[in-house]
Amino acid sequence: MGPIFMDHHSTTPVDPRVLQEMLPYFTERFGNAASKNHSFGREAEKGVDHARGQIARLIHCDPSEIIFTSGGTESNNIALKGIAETYREKGHCHIITAVTEHKAILDTAKRLEKMGFAVTYLPVDSDGLVNPADVLTAITPRTVLISIMMANNEIGTIQPIAEIGKIAKDAGIFFHSDAAQAMGKIPVDVQEMGIDLLSLSAHKMYGPKGIGALYVRRKNPKVSLTPLFDGGGHERGFRSGTLNVPGIVGFGKACEVCEREMPEESARIEHLRDTLKATLFRGLSGIFLNGHPTKRLPNNLNISFAYIEGEALMIDMPEIALSSGSACTTGSLEPSYVLRALGISNEMAYSAIRIGLGRFNTEEEVEYAGGRIIASVNKLREMSPLK
């Protein structure tokens, strides 16, 4: 059997229903959504407005609060740098985040530090959870933004976002969350969670690559942002540039499908995940689950296999697409900084693989993958000098 894709944290295939929705906007409805003086532009704008509404419904906000970007990385950059630049003159130059954030947050925070901003990097416990009490303790009179991801891209741990949102609200501090991994897998409500800015990415939820969005709250409180670059003033002036209409339409359709099917789909994928986990733990000794045992994305498994290296395991199973860490850090010889932050040893961090199940995985694939992983681990352990 093969090839089998089980790396859905890195990306997802475009759902055929999404593709069908996009196709007319490459050919028949190809207008520029900013060209409102003729029917071609107005038709494109109509598609964009419809998609804005589809996305807004999934996160419970007003459609006008959705700002289109090129993806989650750009959304994170706009959120952090935009807030920092806007409120710097008022003396608000301190940001709070966590050590296990995606590099799109951590590297942006490092850039802001070079520009004179202070950044507090909160620790996590052995399951990858941020302690809300640590957030409260880290707040200073200069704090302008708290940025904590909703669900981790490596270990799947889901953070106590609503608790942190309340702390931010009570302190009068803006709250941003990177929800690229969470969207379409767990319910997201920016009102109930107290979120002021939310980063989204279409290709993590069966939409196209190269399109994302940033939710920017318009009232209670109103969020002001300095744009990263200047141009025609598109997207409320926050993100200039000709809109990627086919991508936006696809993003909207992907959100519509998720809104309708997420409860049933997440339950099905969680069942597949738990079946695979049970198979592996029943068939092997010396394996360890990384991340929270229950507060985790329904499709995520991150497991360390003693006495072998995760890279060697993946090489031995070329027909199954897995990951030994975040796709954005592939090529690095360092162990996963996320796993190290949990207190996991270098040896066990190197032995970890990340399994991300998805919409189109089957029971047969999960059964095959379980048997294949067990056989490969046993084979590599027989060869390993570490054992």
Tokens of 118: 């202070």
Selection from 247, 343, 258 nearest residue 299 by Cα? 258
Burial class (CB in 10 A: 0-12, 13-18, 19+), 111: middle
Burial class (CB in 10 A: 0-12, 13-18, 19+), 255: buried
Q: What is the DSSP string of 64-104?
A: GGEEEESSHHHHHHHHHHHHHHHHGGGT--EEEEETTS-HH
Burial class (CB in 10 A: 0-12, 13-18, 19+), 187: middle
Which residues are known to be catalytic? 328
Selection from 252, 246, 244 nearest residue 52 by Cα? 252
What is the rounded distance in angstroms from the CA atom of residue 216 to the CA atom of residue 66? 7
Pairing of strands 212-216, 197-201: antiparallel
Sheet holding 287-289, edge to edge: 287-289, 300-305, 352-356
What is the rounded distance in angstroms from the CA atom of residue 350 to the CA atom of residue 339? 9
First to last CA, the chain: 30
For the chain, the residue count is 387
Q: Helix, strand or coil for residue 125?
A: coil
Residue linked to tokens 């379980």: 370
Sheet holding 174-178, edge to edge: 66-69, 212-216, 197-201, 174-178, 143-147, 94-98, 118-122
